[in-house]
Structure 1
């Protein structure tokens, strides 16, 4: 697929680095680009036009009162992964905006790291790249260190022209 924007060209260059350097480069880049994500210590493990994987180590700064990753920190990595995917595919003439964030907490999370995987289908990618404005639900799964899905998450992203 062709690269629709400046961000995708930067990420493509980082994706050509060896695995150990790629993860660090992506994490550092997004930590600086979106400062709040940098303060939490998220790790961008995979970022491609149709897939993003992010993990968040369970460190004191992101813990809740029972020692697991805080609910909002878990939602942050889901929002980050889905937003990175939309941003990676959106032409520079448009701006992404989170429209809906929904989290249904169904289980207590284990005390280890949290990991999120977000996906876009080829049809969604085409919609994002070709529509001046629109919205899409970005599928996302969040798992704890035991492989369970403690939060069922729905993220809807919209986009509009930058200059309206």
Structure 2
């Protein structure tokens, strides 16, 4: 990694935790502690690197709808957690972010465990709008939801 590459505190923590057995699980619980609403889907972070996050949720009764598939709002929560982890692992030191909106398209029934992926084009890290591409896949690799979470990026105020 080049000397001038900034490693965010979240990415540093991920690198430390994920190196050990059970570390990904503990890191995921830490994220849920910091943002308690994410406990509702009980997602686990599988992979985290600058501009990319991959998480998963198990198909279980607590996240199912009336037809026995994973509820689309549970999938949106998974993808929002993926976006947040991705943004926190990637954002340059002088910037900050806040979600501005989410657009999603349901493309197939979600009848299994779900993997959520958030991806950011690194060239977008500047003040203004930033689109985080989100995708949810079933255990066969079928895309069940795709969309964009729009972030507002601004400069941090000088101290």
Give TM-score scaled by structure 1 length: 0.81
Q: Distance in 2 between matches of 1:61 and 1:147?
A: 23
The offset of 1:74, in angstroms, is 0.4
Q: Distance in 1 between matches of 2:146 and 2:8?
A: 31
Instruction: Name the structure with the higher helix share.
Output: 1
Aligned to 1:8: 11
Aligned to 1:62: 63
Q: Distance in 1 between matches of 2:146 and 2:92?
A: 30
Aligned to 1:119: 119
Note the alpha carbon deviations across 1:84-142, whole angstroms, 9 max, x for none. 111222245543211220111232222x1111122233424xxx2xx3x2221122221
Question: Which structure 2 segments of 5+ residues have no match?
Answer: none
Q: Distance in 2 between matches of 1:161 and 1:82?
A: 19
- Check the 8 A contact 1:142/1:153 in 2, yes or no: no
Moved more, 85-94 or 147-156: 85-94
The offset of 1:162, in angstroms, is 5.0
Q: How many residues get paired?
A: 155
- Check the 8 A contact 2:82/2:116 in 1, yes or no: yes
Cα root mean square deviation, aligned: 2.2
Question: Which structure 1 segments of 5+ residues have no match?
Answer: none
Q: Distance in 2 between matches of 1:92 and 1:50?
A: 14
Aligned to 2:46: 45
Alignment of structure 1 residues 11-50 onto 2, 5 Å: 11-15=14-18, 17-18=19-20, 20-50=21-51
Note the alpha carbon deviations across 1:68-97, whole angstroms, 9 max, x for none. 111101011111112211122224554321
> Do the aligned partners of residues 106 and 26 (structure 1) sit closer, same or farther apart at CA in structure 2, a change above 3 Å counting?
same
- Check the 8 A contact 1:141/1:153 in 2, yes or no: yes
1:3 aligns to what SS in structure 2? coil
Moved more, 30-39 or 83-92: 83-92
